[in-house]
Structure 1
Amino acid sequence: MELSRNLKVDSVSRLDPAPPRWVDADDTVARAVEEMRAGNVGCLLVTEQGRVVGIFTERDLLTRVLAPQKPLGAPIRLFMTAAPVTVAPKDSVRTVIKRMQRGGYRHLPVVDEAGRPVGVLSARRVVHYLVEHFPGLVFNLPPEPDRYPETPEGA
């Protein structure tokens, strides 16, 4: 399989996005944290009338809420990243990588034509996709590439 071709041909669906978890824009930060813990996720989509209007990540929690000591009872809309960059299920993997790279994002919401959440893509899923293309190279790397064993291993 040729990676450059597959990056253009394979779609977001091939990356197997995680099911979306979301809260309403008027929900509290405390409610969002509960949802993140319950789902064991690092980000939540924020919706309004069923459409994605923002994203709230662990980093947002730390830098926008906890560090400045803001109240957990405040609405999530005050701390979310509004109008997040998104992808559609039919977008190419190449598009995903470019958007993540340009913005420095670790998560991208996957939305349908109406802006409704259908999934979340993480950088981890992209890495797994890339590893599929180089299994021999990746799986045969030594744990510490710059160190060599003093004695031969094996029989």
Structure 2
Amino acid sequence: MPHRAAIKIIQNRHFLTTTPDKSIRAVAAHMRDNDEGVVLVVAPEDGKLLGICTERDLTFKVLAAGLDAVSTPVGAVMTANPQTIHPEKPFGHALHIMHEGGFRHLPVVLPDGRPIGVLSSRDALGLEALHFFRELDQKAVLTEIL
């Protein structure tokens, strides 16, 4: 399993935030303009994580439900109190949380509740996947030897 810390995956990576009062339309435009599929919703007073809103949320909870994107705030459709991970936890742990929870994005949050980034299931397609498959190969070789 990939053992690299979550912080190593997200360091120097841009992520989007918004406040819960912003309209769905403004948030969707912000996501489009930054080519991002997820935005973290934070409290305006202290920046602590309140929720997460993804392209999937916009599709299913807004479009499919027929909500007005101009008058509906993102706080009404976000996933409140999402699962999070500490920056020092291994990426493999994050993948397990995402798999078990059935979601594709996991906020990385400091102990004080402020987010510092977002992990994506897509991150597993990079270098971590190569390491994972190398470990599997090594275990297979050891199994054959023993």
Instruction: Flag whether TM exceeds 0.5 (same fold).
Output: yes
What are structure 2's unaligned runs of at least 5 residues?
A: 135-146
Please say if residues 4 and 91 of structure 2, whose CA atoms lie closer than 8 Å, have aligned partners that are also in contact.
Answer: yes
Cα offset for 1:19?
2.2
Query: Aligned in 2, Cα 1:96/1:129: closer, same or farther, shift over 3 Å?
Result: farther
For the 8 Å contact 2:5–2:87, the answer to whether it is kept is yes
Query: Among 103, 106, 111, which residue is 1:105 paired with?
Result: 103
Q: Which amino acid aligns with 1:129?
A: L
- Superposed counterparts of 1:54-133, under 5 Å: 54-72=51-69, 73-133=71-131
Residue 11 of structure 1 is matched in structure 2 by: 5
Tell me the SS of whatever aligns to 2:111: coil
Which 10-residue stretch deviates more, 13-22 or 58-67? Answer: 13-22
Q: Kindly provide the CA deviation profile for residues 92-135 of structure 1, in whole angstroms up to 9, marking residues without a partner as x.
A: 12210110111111111111111112111111112213333247
Higher Rg: 1
| Pairwise CA distance, 1:89 | 1.0
Q: What is the identity, as a one-letter code, of the residue corresponding to 1:82?
A: A
% identity of equivalent residues: 33
Contact kept? 2:10, 2:118, Cα under 8 Å: no
- Report runs of 4+ in structure 1 exceeding 4 Å deviation: none
Paired with 1:64 and 1:131, the residues of 2 have a C-alpha distance of 32
Q: What TM-score, normalized to structure 2?
A: 0.81
Which of 23, 37, 40 aligns to 2:18? It is 23
- Which blocks of at least 5 consecutive residues in structure 1 are unaligned? 136-155
